[in-house]
Structure formats: structure tokens, C-alpha cells
């Protein structure tokens, strides 16, 4: 066998090994999701079986029907939870992204006193675990009378997300060459127009990713929500999962069904937004 | 179209002064090149004229109107950036028409202006492309087109050719010159490349460390540099500059060699004066291979060893050893030479320069 043939063979073997490796990695990543979907469709006996039953014997959508059939028939107020989750997540994401854009732009473009200190301070707030904040926040909210309200949850989530959105959006504005805003100003734009006409469209992938992250954080957050919400007024879907736990039993199938209901909007949103994440939009702006 | 007038223009960052109160009058339709080494304040000056940089002192007038505190959009200028600064999310057509769109111009007016600009610069084929699909030279042309479309009072160019390769640079240089002939507007052109400045400008402003060192036509700054810095900066290869002491009608160099003191400087120097002798490679040439036709009045001849040669085809740069160092000379109608050869060299002293060693000022009248 000549050298070229053996090199070709090695390359093919490596390609196959690469694909097998990728498949295994994807399997590990996807397995919990698949398991949740499967568990929502199979009887509790099968879910609890040891050793696990890999191939389901029977599938049914009973858990989903029950979930929506109202209190007393195994149902939970899932539509209320869904509405709460949506209002809280969307509102707090919009606010956090707006603040993140203003803050990120300021950090990327302007020099001001205490800039690095402020930036570090913002990042430090991320080091505090959410659960450690829940008790002080609880007392604070009780005093303010905003416990179990949308506004309370929105405030908490905005505070949670702002440092991250500022940090992420700052990085994207830094990648937009300063010359472009200057060129726009010479072309007749005000500072404000230059931002919306030139800098914003170019930083859009970053703003979209910040929005996805902020939304998912709110959508999935449990630790704070479980302390700060009490009733259908403000309970979000992750807290709703607790409705499936009773004193001595846990309805695993129902819980998994609700988890699937939670995952679907998050997946859909990510799918919609991801086309805005296309990078490399700034190429060709300046030399190179 | 407009005149531009800078009076005592100053720029400070904190306590550091970058531009030290410069004065400059630019005539209507004049092509002015600001040239100097990096950090000399030429780009800062341009950015102050554009309104992208606040000014710390002095005034800027464009077309007789003081624009000190006006934002860039109110100065009716356009600028071509070193980085081109094309809007990557817009097509070439949108890039060209952007300023008119912002100004709220009518669609047909916009289309006409874009068509005119693209015809001047040969961009017709590229109008629907995005900047990322263009080559460096094409991007450069779009950047210039965007500047033309505005029909500005003053064009500002900030080192527009620095990112192009040598061949394209020469080509674009010609295009800029043609463009100026066509649009007939005032141009302020910043460059660190003295060849660009010499070839394009009506007048050259040579800056160093935030000061203007000399303002003059290309011929003036080349033939009559006012100070030693300008003599060394303008011209390629640069002027040979060597310190000497005047003694007994001769220039005594530190290495022991000497040259006769050129006649025109005899009345301007005294024995013991420390001076800098300067002679361009064109005026220091292998005998019989120079520019002059033999009518020189004051030529000093010497036999010197060659240390290296740089053949350029139509001419050869010969580095000849004199006074222990290499002096560069330009050999026209070159003949083959090799290191170590001894060759008869001519110093055309009537065209030599002399500068004061202390102040650097030219001793020519």
C-alpha cells in the first residue's frame, strides 16, 4: 500500500471516529431531555422500575390531559402559571436588554471616572448565589407589599440579568468599529441616529443572545420564584412543578409532562432568535 | 466650496498638549496635504476640523463661518477614513446614498447623485454588493464615492491609501488627483507618506510634535527646506545630512574628511561654526551619471569606495563611503558596480544645503 492510500485510509478512519464521538457526546447531552419526554408518556411503575426500562412498553398522553382538566381531576392551573411565566419573563427581558444596551454602549464607548470599578462591581453581583438572596428579598418584599406580584418578580429578574446583559452587549459594541459611528455623524447623523442606523444593527447578534440568555434565566429560575410567589397570582411554571408533590408522593409523570410544556416555548424562542445570532456581520466594515 | 482657516488651534488631553496653537490658511479648491511622522498631530488636526474631536483652544473657520462647536453634520464636510468605515450591513448603493437618506432627500435626487458618483468612480457594477464582497481598492472607491455624494465644502482624507498594497496605492493616488480635478473642492489630506503628499498636493504642510514646521509647494519644501527636519523628511531616498565644522573655508567632518564650503554660504558662516551639511542623492552622483548636463558651476570631485548598490532598473542607488559613513547617491544610466569598487563621485555644491547645528534652521537665504 502506498503512502497516499494509507493517508486516505487514516483520514477516513478519523472521520468515522469523529462522528461516533460526536454522536456519543450528543447522546449524553440529549438523554435527560429524551428521558423527560419519555417519562411524561409512560406509567409511574415504568418510571420507577429498577433496573430502568429503556424501551417503553406503553405510551399515553393521560398526564397531559389530566394537567389541563382542572383542579380535582389531577389538573393544575397550568394556564395561569404559563401566563405568569410569560409576563414576568418577557417584561424583565425587555427591561434588562434595554438597560444592557444603554450600559453596554456606555462601557464600550465612553471614558468616565470609576468605569472599571463599576464594571467589576456589576460582575461581583453575579458571584452571590440566588438562593442566598431569597430570604433577605422575601423580608424586603413583604415590607414593601410586593410579595406574590408580577412586579416583584420582574424587579428581581431585572436585577439578576442586568450585569450579564451589560457585559455581553458591551463586548459586541466593542467589536463595532468606532469609525462607523463617526462616519455616520459626518454623513449627517446625530449621535442618536448614528446609534440606531449603524451601531445597533451591527450589534444585533449580541443583543439577541443577551435577550435569549435573559429570557431563559427568568423562564427557568426556581430558587427565588419559589420564595417570592405564593399563589396563582404570580407562580411561574418551575414553581408549578411543586404542585405535583404531595406529602408522601410525587407524581413523576405529571411533573415530566409539565416540564415538557415548559421546554417547548423556550426551544421555540431560541429557534426563532438564533437566526439573528449570525456572526461576522461586521466583516468588510474596515480594512481586511 | 470653501476656504478653511485655522487660528491658534490647540488640542490638549488633560495636561498633555498634542497640537500647539497652529495657524493655517487654506484657499478655496486648494489641495493641502498634512504630512509628518506618526504622533505629529496631523490626524488630530484633521479630526478637529471634522468635528470628531473637541478643540481646546483657537478657532476653525470653514467658508468664513466659525465651526468650533458645531457637530460634524453641520459643517458640510465629508471624510474618507483610513479604515474606509463602510457600513457593512448596507449595500454599496445604500452606503453611497446614506447621507442623502438621513438628510431626507427625494428618491430621484438620491438616485441621480448615487448614479453620478458611481459613474465617476466606476462603481456601477458593484452597487448591489456589500462591503464584505469588495476588494480593498473597491472599498476605497466606495468610501470616496460616499464622500462625493454629499457635495461637501471640504473633503477630508485621513491616510486613505495606507491599507492598500503598493501598486494599488499608486493607482488610487492617480484617481484621487483626477477626482480633485473633477469635483474641484477644497481637500485636506493627511498622510505619513511624503510621496503621496508631493504628488497630490498644491501645498504641503509638514508637521512635527504638534507644530507646523513648513508650509510650501512640493517644489519649495523639496528644494528649499526651511529646517533640517524637513530636509530629512521630504525626498526619497532621504537627503544625506552630516554634521561638520566650518574652518578655513572648508567643512571639516568628524571623521577627518572635508569638503569646500559652498560659495553661497561663505558670507553666512564664520570659522568655528557648527553646521549640518546636506546634499540630496541627486546632487551627489557618480561622475557622468548625474542629472546635470555638465553646466554645474561648483562641483567637487572625489574618488570613493562603493559599499553597496541597490539597482532599480532605470537607476541605481549607490552607497559610497565618505568620512567613514555611507552616503547615498543616485546613479542614472547605471553601469554595473560591485562593493569595493572605487568610483569617481561628484558633489554638486551649488545645490547643497547647510543648516545650523543648534537651531536646525537653513542657512540659505
What residues in B contact A179, CB-CB < 8 Å? 81, 83, 85
Distance from CA of A194 to the nearest CA of B (A): 10
What residues in B contact A184, CB-CB < 8 Å? 87, 98
What value of ipTM does the predicted structure carry?
0.85
CB of B138 less than 8 A from some CB of A = no
According to DSSP, residue B362 is labeled B
CB of B131 less than 8 A from some CB of A = yes
Strand-pair partners of B311: B316
CB of B135 less than 8 A from some CB of A = no
pLDDT digits (tens, 9 = 90+) for A103-144: 999 999 998 899 999 999 988 888 888 778 888 999 999 999
Split at pLDDT 50, 70, 90, the class of A48 is: confident
Split at pLDDT 50, 70, 90, the class of A2 is: confident
CB of B325 less than 8 A from some CB of A = no
Contact B295, B348 (CB under 8 A): no
Q: Beta strands B250-253 and B258-260: pairing type?
A: antiparallel
pLDDT(A211) > 60: yes
**What gap in Å lies between CA A137 and CA A132, rounded to an integer?**
9
**What gap in Å lies between CA B39 and CA B229, rounded to an integer?**
15
> Which one, of B4, B21, B36, B1, lies nearest residue B188 by Cα?
B4
**Partner-chain contact A188 B85, CB within 8 Å:** no
> Which one, of A227, A231, A257, A233, lies nearest residue A88 by Cα?
A233
What residues in A contact B79, CB-CB < 8 Å? 182-183, 186
Provide the residue-wise pLDDT of chain B in tens; the chain has 365 residues: 589 999 999 999 989 999 999 999 999 999 999 999 998 999 999 999 999 999 999 999 999 999 999 999 999 999 999 999 999 999 999 999 999 999 999 999 999 999 999 988 889 999 999 999 998 889 999 999 999 998 899 999 999 998 888 888 888 899 899 889 888 889 999 999 889 999 999 999 999 999 999 999 999 999 999 999 999 999 889 999 999 999 988 999 988 899 999 988 999 998 899 999 999 999 999 988 887 655 667 889 999 999 999 999 899 999 999 988 999 999 998 888 888 999 999 999 999 999 999 999 999 86
Mean pLDDT of A154-176: 92
Choosing among B51, B76, B88, which should be mutated to test the A contact, i.e. which has the most A CBs within 10 A? Answer: B88
Split at pLDDT 50, 70, 90, the class of A284 is: very low
Locate B107 and state its grid cell: 428618491
CB of B24 less than 8 A from some CB of A = no
Which residue of B72, B134, B163 is in closest CB contact with A284? B134
Global confidence as pTM: 0.82
CATH number of B240-356: 2.40.50.140
Say what the pLDDT of residue A280 is: 40
> May I ask the CATH class of domain A78-277?
mainly alpha
CB of A226 less than 8 A from some CB of B = no
Say what the pLDDT of residue A277 is: 67
Say what the pLDDT of residue B293 is: 56
Say what the pLDDT of residue A287 is: 42
> Which one, of B82, B91, B84, lies nearest residue B125 by Cα?
B91
Average pLDDT, rounded, for chain A = 88
Distance from CA of B90 to the nearest CA of A (A): 9
What residues in B contact A287, CB-CB < 8 Å? 82-84, 136, 163
Lowest mean pLDDT among A83-87, A212-216, B293-297, B340-344: B293-297
Of residues A279 and B125, which shows the higher confidence score? B125
Closest residue of chain B to A177, computed from CA coordinates: B85
Say what the pLDDT of residue A65 is: 86
| Ranges of CATH 1.10.3720.10 domains, chain A | 78-277
Which residue of B51, B131, B133 is in closest CB contact with A285? B131
The helix or strand, by DSSP H or E, that contains position B300, with its residue range, turns out to be strand B299-311
Percentage of chain A beyond pLDDT 90 is 53
CATH number of B4-233: 3.40.50.300
Say what the pLDDT of residue A285 is: 47
Locate A269 and state its grid cell: 424562542
Task: Count CA atoms closer than 13 A to A119's CA, side-chain side.
Answer: 19
Which residue of A184, A197, A286 is in closest CB contact with B84? A286
What residues in B contact A182, CB-CB < 8 Å? 50, 52, 72, 79, 81, 85
Choosing among B74, B84, B113, B145, which should be mutated to test the A contact, i.e. which has the most A CBs within 10 A? Answer: B84
**What gap in Å lies between CA B341 and CA A163, rounded to an integer?**
73
Distance from CA of A182 to the nearest CA of B (A): 7
> Which one, of B97, B75, B71, B39, lies nearest residue B188 by Cα?
B75
Listed by start position, the domains of chain B span: 4-233, 240-356
pLDDT(A58) > 90: no
Interface of B with A in 183-242 (CB under 8 A): none
Amino acid at each position: 500500500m502506498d503512502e497516499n492510500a494509507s493517508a486516505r485510509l487514516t483520514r477516513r478512519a478519523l472521520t468515522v471516529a469523529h462522528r461516533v464521538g460526536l454522536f456519543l457526546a450528543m447522546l449524553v447531552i440529549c438523554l435527560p431531555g429524551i428521558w423527560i419526554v419519555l417519562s411524561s408518556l409512560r406509567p409511574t411503575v415504568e418510571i420507577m422500575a429498577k433496573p430502568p426500562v429503556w424501551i417503553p412498553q406503553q405510551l399515553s398522553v393521560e398526564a397531559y390531559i389530566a394537567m389541563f382538566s382542572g383542579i380535582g381531576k389531577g389538573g393544575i392551573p397550568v394556564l395561569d402559571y404559563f401566563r405568569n411565566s410569560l409576563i414576568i419573563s418577557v417584561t424583565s427581558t425587555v427591561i434588562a436588554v434595554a438597560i444592557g444596551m444603554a450600559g453596554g454602549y456606555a462601557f464600550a464607548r465612553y471614558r468616565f471616572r470609576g468605569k472599571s470599578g463599576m464594571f467589576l462591581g456589576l460582575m461581583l453581583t453575579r458571584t452571590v448565589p440566588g438562593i442566598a438572596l431569597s430570604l433577605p428579598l422575601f423580608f424586603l418584599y413583604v415590607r414593601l407589599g410586593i410579595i406574590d406580584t408580577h412586579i416583584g418578580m420582574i424587579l428581581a429578574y431585572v436585577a439578576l440579568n442586568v450585569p450579564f446583559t451589560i457585559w455581553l452587549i458591551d463586548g459586541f459594541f466593542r467589536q463595532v468599529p468606532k469609525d462607523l459611528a463617526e462616519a455616520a455623524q459626518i454623513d449627517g447623523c446625530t449621535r442618536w441616529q448614528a446609534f440606531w442606523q449603524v451601531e445597533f444593527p451591527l450589534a444585533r447578534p449580541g443583543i439577541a443572545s443577551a435577550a435569549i440568555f435573559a429570557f431563559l434565566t427568568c423562564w427557568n429560575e426556581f430558587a427565588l420564584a419559589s420564595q417570592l410567589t405564593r399563589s396563582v397570582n404570580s407562580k411561574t411554571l418551575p414553581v408549578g412543578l411543586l404542585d405535583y408533590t404531595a406529602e408522601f408522593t410525587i407524581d413523576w409523570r405529571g411533573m415530566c409532562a409539565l416540564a415538557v410544556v415548559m421546554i417547548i416555548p423556550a426551544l421555540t424562542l431560541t429557534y426563532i432568535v438564533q437566526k439573528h445570532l449570525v456572526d461576522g456581520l461586521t466583516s468588510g466594515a474596515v480594512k481586511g | 466650496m470653501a476656504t478653511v482657516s485655522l487660528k491658534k488651534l490647540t488640542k490638549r488631553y488633560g495636561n498633555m498638549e498634542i497640537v500647539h496653537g497652529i495657524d493655517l490658511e487654506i484657499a478655496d479648491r486648494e489641495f493641502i496635504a498634512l504630512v509628518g511622522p506618526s504622533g505629529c498631530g496631523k490626524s488630530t488636526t484633521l479630526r478637529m476640523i471634522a468635528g470628531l474631536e473637541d478643540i481646546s483652544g483657537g478657532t476653525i473657520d470653514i467658508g468664513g463661518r466659525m465651526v468650533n462647536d458645531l457637530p460634524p453634520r453641520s459643517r458640510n464636510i465629508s471624510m474618507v477614513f483610513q479604515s474606509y468605515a463602510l457600513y457593512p450591513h448596507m449595500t454599496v448603493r445604500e452606503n453611497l446614498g446614506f447621507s442623502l437618506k438621513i438628510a431626507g432627500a427625494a428618491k430621484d435626487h438620491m438616485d441621480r447623485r448615487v448614479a453620478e458618483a458611481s459613474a465617476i468612480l466606476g462603481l456601477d457594477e458593484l452597487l448591489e454588493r456589500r462591503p464584505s464582497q469588495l476588494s480593498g481598492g473597491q472599498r476605497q472607491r466606495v468610501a470616496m464615492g460616499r464622500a462625493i455624494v454629499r457635495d461637501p465644502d471640504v473633503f477630508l482624507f485621513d491616510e486613505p491609501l495606507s491599507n492598500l498594497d503598493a501598486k494599488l496605492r499608486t493607482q488610487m493616488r492617480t484617481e484621487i488627483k483626477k477626482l480633485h480635478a473633477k469635483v474641484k473642492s477644497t481637500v485636506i489630506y493627511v498622510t505619513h507618506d511624503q510621496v503621496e503628499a508631493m504628488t497630490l498636493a498644491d501645498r504641503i504642510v509638514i508637521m512635527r510634535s504638534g507644530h507646523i514646521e513648513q508650509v510650501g509647494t512640493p517644489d519649495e519644501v523639496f528644494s528649499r527646506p526651511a529646517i533640517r527636519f524637513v530636509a530629512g523628511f521630504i525626498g526619497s531616498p532621504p537627503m544625506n545630512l552630516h554634521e561638520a565644522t566650518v574652518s578655513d573655508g572648508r567643512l571639516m567632518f568628524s571623521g577627518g574628511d572635508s569638503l569646500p564650503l559652498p560659495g553661497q554660504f561663505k558670507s553666512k558662516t564664520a570659522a568655528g561654526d557648527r553646521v549640518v551639511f546636506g546634499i540630496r542623492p541627486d546632487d551627489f552622483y557618480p561622475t557622468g551619471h548625474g542629472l546635470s548636463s555638465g553646466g554645474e558651476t561648483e562641483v567637487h570631485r572625489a574618488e570613493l569606495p562603493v559599499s553597496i548598490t541597490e539597482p532599480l532598473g532605470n537607476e541605481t542607488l549607490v552607497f559610497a563611503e565618505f568620512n567613514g559613513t555611507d552616503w547615498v547617491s543616485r546613479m542614472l544610466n547605471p553601469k554595473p558596480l560591485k562593493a569595493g569598487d572605487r568610483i569617481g563621485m561628484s558633489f554638486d555644491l551649488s545645490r547643497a544645503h547647510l543648516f545650523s547645528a543648534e537651531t536646525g534652521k537653513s542657512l540659505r537665504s
